[in-house]
Amino acid sequence: MQGLIEKELNSTDKILKPDFNSKTGRELLAFYLQTKFKQILSHDKKCSTPIFKVVNPDFIARFSKRLINNPHKRMLIGITGESASGKSTICKKIKEVIGQYEMPVSVLSTDNYFNDISALISKYGSFDSLIEHGYDIDSPRSFQLETLKADLIDLSEGIDIQAPMYLPNGTGVSVPAALNISSEKVVVVEGIATMYEDIKDVFDVKIYVEADNEIRKNRFMRRACEERNQNLENAIKQWDYLEKTGSKHVRPCRQQADFVLNGNADLKYLAEVLEYIYTITNNFM
């Protein structure tokens, strides 16, 4: 990919920068990006570990139409995947690379939109006990989806929001309007709720991150035992639960994605892909 970047930068065969305020200029940009994106996919297929596992064939046409008809709308990117698939890592890398080019970016986790279940935890004595009694934490019903959708629509229209904040301390408390999230040019939203019904269609780009189960399990166990100080028995129990709920609620969302990305791919390579996308969208005469 680095070779493509250098070739693009050194090329003398460049187009005149279109007037993005005119529909004709945006149509030219959309056609140009379609051509370059096909070039990215062609290069990716030749890599030892491609990052694009699946690409929705309708994406390019739909995304081009969006650029042409809604040029002032913020770019919303939704990232989902099962636990330990690599979605948070990819989200951080996207933010990091975009930030290098001083392009404003906002990041939001849908985990902050979990319902307040503090009363239920008090009733059953603990979070684990609540789960044992059948509460499904990953079900769409466990999220404040109406609030999430309203907040995403505001962000897409350039309106800053105050998102709720779910406390990850076992209390089940959700604090309303606790997080100030600015509506920047690019908004990256990560979490399992991004592809749930009535939420997924708000996004301009829908990404599903996928990794082998054994790799996911190893990542999860290492994180649980080393970073969260969970004992092995509790970590295994939690993994088994997440594997069950993930197959039920998250895995079907794969079908809704524009891209299925390889969560095992080299992040340096991902950074180069993002750098190339930035280069082709800014490298005009």
> What's the confidence (pLDDT) of residue 4?
63
> What's the confidence (pLDDT) of residue 177?
93
Q: What is the pLDDT of residues 65-99, one digit of tens each?
A: 888 888 888 989 999 999 999 888 888 888 888 88
Pairwise CA distance, residues 217 & 206, whole Å? 24
Within the chain, which residues score under 70 in pLDDT?
Answer: 1-5, 7-18, 281-285
Superfamily of domain 52-264: P-loop containing nucleotide triphosphate hydrolases (3.40.50.300)
> What's the confidence (pLDDT) of residue 277?
78
> What's the confidence (pLDDT) of residue 15?
64
Q: What is the pTM of this model?
A: 0.89
> What's the confidence (pLDDT) of residue 48?
85
> What's the confidence (pLDDT) of residue 107?
92
What is the pLDDT of the chain when averaged over all its residues?
87
